[in-house]
Amino acid sequence: MCLFCKIVRNEIPSNKILEDDEFVAFHDINPKAPLHILAIPKIHVDSFNEVSPELMAKMTTFIQKIVQEVKIEKSGYRVITNIGDNGGQEVKHLHFHILGGAKLKWDHFSDSDPQGHF
Ligand code: AMP
């Protein structure tokens, strides 16, 4: 069973923020911003490549609830999902990073072409 499936089942502890029948949100263990939350579906979906439009629609509503809960909807935030090797996906269970609490940088996405021309 994957790491995030174990978090869903409370077999691994997590610092949960919000939960409903289909989704859970918890603090990232290695935060890359003052606020770094992960939002995941409870059912196992490998990545964004496999998610259905129906689940994605509900995920959108869930993410909107999270940012209201932690009060960053006005100050702003970033939503990221990493996909596959080039995307830097380490945990193969669909998750959305929600980053906020500070002005976020926007640079250096590729080590192989630091000039940014791909
Ligand atoms: P990704 O690289 O997009 O697959 O993101 C995986 C994220 O999961 C990383 O930001 C990790 O810091 C985070 N992570 C790994 N293990 C845990 C855990 N037990 N609890 C919370 N976050 C975790």
pLDDT tens, residue by residue, 47-87: 999 999 999 999 999 999 999 999 999 999 999 999 999 99
28 lines ligand 1 (CB under 6 A): yes
Domain containing residue 22: 3-103
Tell me the pTM: 0.94
Residue 27 Cα: closest atom of ligand 1: 21
Domain count, the chain: 1
117 falls within a domain: no
Token pair in block for residue 95: 């998750």
Cα–Cα separations (whole angstroms), residue 87 to 22, 70, 78, 103: 25, 27, 16, 23
**Interatomic CA distance for residues 39 and 6, integer angstroms:** 14
User: Could you say which of 95, 97, 108, 117 is catalytic?
Assistant: 95
Q: Is 117 a catalytic residue?
A: no
113 falls within a domain: no
Q: 47 with 34: CB under 8 angstroms? A: no
